[in-house]
């Protein structure tokens, strides 16, 4: 994880992931936003910078698989983890008498 932040009201969390090597530089931004009492919007954006010919060939080979299988699987996993964490936090919270 390169960076993360959350809004002051706690309704949105963003995480920046990335890695660099001699062939490619990639960054993925994942955002989870509460849109209602029981709903979340999860978005992901990825940017890849190819540094050389091998990087371009590599991206051409994996682009379709990444877009149609890997990215949706990553989003699903992130959403499940957020929901499990939120449910655990909600279950462990007990109001204290005034």
Q: Compute the distance between CA of residue 62 and CA of residue 12 in angstroms, rounded to an integer.
A: 31
Q: Compute the distance between CA of residue 26 and CA of residue 66 in angstroms, rounded to an integer.
A: 13
Residues near 83 by Cβ (< 8 Å), separated by ≥ 6?
Answer: 40
Q: How confident is the model at residue 96 (pLDDT cuts 50, 70, 90)?
A: low
> Does the predicted model carry a pTM greater than 0.85?
no
- Tell me what pLDDT residue 97 has: 54
Per-residue pLDDT of 53-79, as tens digits, reads: 999 999 999 999 988 998 888 778 877
Q: Compute the distance between CA of residue 41 and CA of residue 12 in angstroms, rounded to an integer.
A: 9
Q: How confident is the model at residue 91 (pLDDT cuts 50, 70, 90)?
A: low
Extents of the domains making up the chain:
3-92
Sheet holding 40-50, edge to edge: 3-6, 12-20, 24-34, 40-50
**Mean pLDDT (the chain, rounded):** 84
Q: Compute the distance between CA of residue 73 and CA of residue 28 in angstroms, rounded to an integer.
A: 14
């Amino acid at each position: 994880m390169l960076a993360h932040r959350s809004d002051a009201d706690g309704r949105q969390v963003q995480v920046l992931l990335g890695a660099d090597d001699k062939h490619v530089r990639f960054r993925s931004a994942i955002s989870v936003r509460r849109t209602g009492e029981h709903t979340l919007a999860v978005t992901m954006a990825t940017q890849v910078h190819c540094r050389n010919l091998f990087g371009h060939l590599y991206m051409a080979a994996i682009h379709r698989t990444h877009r149609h299988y890997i990215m949706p699987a990553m989003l699903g996993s992130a959403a499940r983890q957020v929901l499990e964490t939120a449910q655990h936090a909600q279950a462990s919270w007990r109001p204290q008498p005034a």
